Structure 1
């Protein structure tokens, strides 16, 4: 049995007829026989070409990459390890061993391939490169971890750790959601440098930078509700307070300069300011509760670990102290007998 027998290569596809055969062949050439193509309803010959190249093919019941990945791992993968890549020939199958090593060595349960380590010319447009950098900085600021390239589609993970993630994104937000859920569930993550190449000619991308970038930013903010509540509520509170102060400044300027009062705008300014302050205070309280929850969960996990390894608890039971007034205490009886003998 080779190291690759318990690995499933997962390739989500959507109209990838130009490249899917090459990608399947590349992974099979480096020793991966279990290649699963999960197709999102391609209108070209993606499915038939993938079968001819030697892959198992399943057609997803819904739409979107996120739904495809969830359905594939849940219903079509039995292997312990999953190696996920795009079927557009931008990733190098030769990097698969480096991606899987942290899983085999027990160093991580989720591995992210860092495309920026070796990005070939033309692999990513300037707009996409800037957008990726901004999203990674936002992720680090919001979720307090640096995975360097959270939008990378080259991933390796254990099936067990994937099933622990609460994933709901249907489209390209799946990579962002996986990264956030790894932080939230404290799943060990390793980042591995990989090669990222330009898409071959004739292969069209399914990514829309503006639309999908907006979805990713919304996903980052939405997930902050349970992972960084101070940012989630504090950000909304800051925006509301700033809007209220701006409206208040406008009302004050118009009144002092022209003697015109804007009662409705003034009421709105007061309401927005109060709402903003309340949201910020709620964010502080929620962050305190979240911190206490994390501490309690850490203690609980340590206690479970001590119980599993058989280590004794660090807490010592207090030594029993004899009660001198206890009539049936052995020590007390001995002392009374000695005293009576002395009197006699």
Structure 2
């Protein structure tokens, strides 16, 4: 039989998955499989999703709609939306996974603790799982699956706009946490250089005309202040990220 675990209210897919993982962890499973409950996924394909883990070829497997061998009748509007979401969250898997939003997945037992670290409460859980797997050196594989959409249009609770915003926000958070020097430091350095160049021009212009340009001065101060702020922020976040890695 099946053990059904219920929440008093809808707390989001991320919370539901963490509740499930917390429940099964004491049972010491060899592999954990997740799939959507709306009928899109075919349970008969579970053995194919398990195969890379059983063969010790992967620690995590994603059932993909976008690789050769997959079968899906996904509507055009949804295909476009998923492509955009995949593009926004692809960085989480460093580009190695084509279907970052598939809920049909399998995890080896050694990944459970890491999957319980996920913070996303909603549909961003898929993106965060991939980010944690890649960050911690786990092998991630994709296998083709069959996904059904016809007749199930009303089963999805996802609002495509809020779903996309949530995933883009999560992708940005992951980027900021993992690469603060790139996200804040690089723009800060560029603004500092622009501010210095503007300052040099301001002095040159004053020397030539004896006219002190207030607009150029404001641009110079704004660029220098913003650049210094971003650069210092990047260094602080970088130090915090390194300390976090050391003590985890």
Structure 2 residue matching 1:179: 3-state secondary structure: helix
User: What is the Cα deviation at residue 176 of structure 1?
Assistant: 0.7
Structure 1 residue matching 2:62: 3-state secondary structure: strand
Matched, 1:108 2:58: yes
Task: Identify the structure with bigger relative contact order (alpha carbons < 8 Å, sequence gap 6+).
Answer: 2
CA distance in 2, matches of 1:276, 1:119: 49
* Aligned partner (choices 204, 217, 232) of residue 155 of structure 2: 204
**Larger of the two Rg values belongs to structure:** 1
* Length-normalised TM-score, structure 1: 0.55
* Aligned partner (choices 70, 74, 77) of residue 18 of structure 2: 70
Cα distance change of structure 1 residues 104 and 287 upon mapping to structure 2, 3 Å threshold: same
Structure 2 residue matching 1:86: 3-state secondary structure: coil
User: 1:136 touches 1:146 (CA, 8 Å); kept in 2?
Assistant: no
CA distance in 2, matches of 1:174, 1:115: 18
Counterpart in 1 of 2:87? 137
CA distance in 1, matches of 2:226, 2:53: 47
* Length-normalised TM-score, structure 2: 0.73
Counterpart in 1 of 2:125? 174
Matched, 1:95 2:45: yes
User: 2:65 touches 2:99 (CA, 8 Å); kept in 1?
Assistant: yes
CA distance in 1, matches of 2:105, 2:171: 19
1:107-256 to structure 2, matched below 5 A, reads 107-117=57-67, 118-121=70-73, 123-126=74-77, 128-141=78-91, 144-165=94-115, 166-201=117-152, 203-234=154-185, 237=188, 241=191
CA distance in 1, matches of 2:226, 2:149: 48
Structure 2 residue matching 1:82: 3-state secondary structure: strand
> Which is further off, 223-232 or 266-275?
266-275
User: What is the Cα deviation at residue 194 of structure 1?
Assistant: 1.1
Counterpart in 1 of 2:6? 59
CA distance in 2, matches of 1:229, 1:110: 27
User: What is the Cα deviation at residue 61 of structure 1?
Assistant: 5.8
Structure 2 residue matching 1:89: 3-state secondary structure: coil
Structure 2 residue matching 1:178: 3-state secondary structure: helix
Large movers: runs of 4+ above 6 Å = 284-291
CA distance in 2, matches of 1:262, 1:200: 65
> Which is further off, 155-164 or 168-177?
155-164
CA distance in 2, matches of 1:235, 1:209: 32
CA distance in 2, matches of 1:266, 1:143: 44
Structure 2 residue matching 1:164: 3-state secondary structure: helix
1:276-291 to structure 2, matched below 5 A, reads 276=227, 279-280=230-231, 283=234
Aligned residue pairs total 224
> Which is further off, 93-102 or 169-178?
93-102
User: 1:115 touches 1:149 (CA, 8 Å); kept in 2?
Assistant: yes
The root-mean-square deviation of aligned C-alpha atoms, in Å, is 3.7
Larger proportion of helix? 2
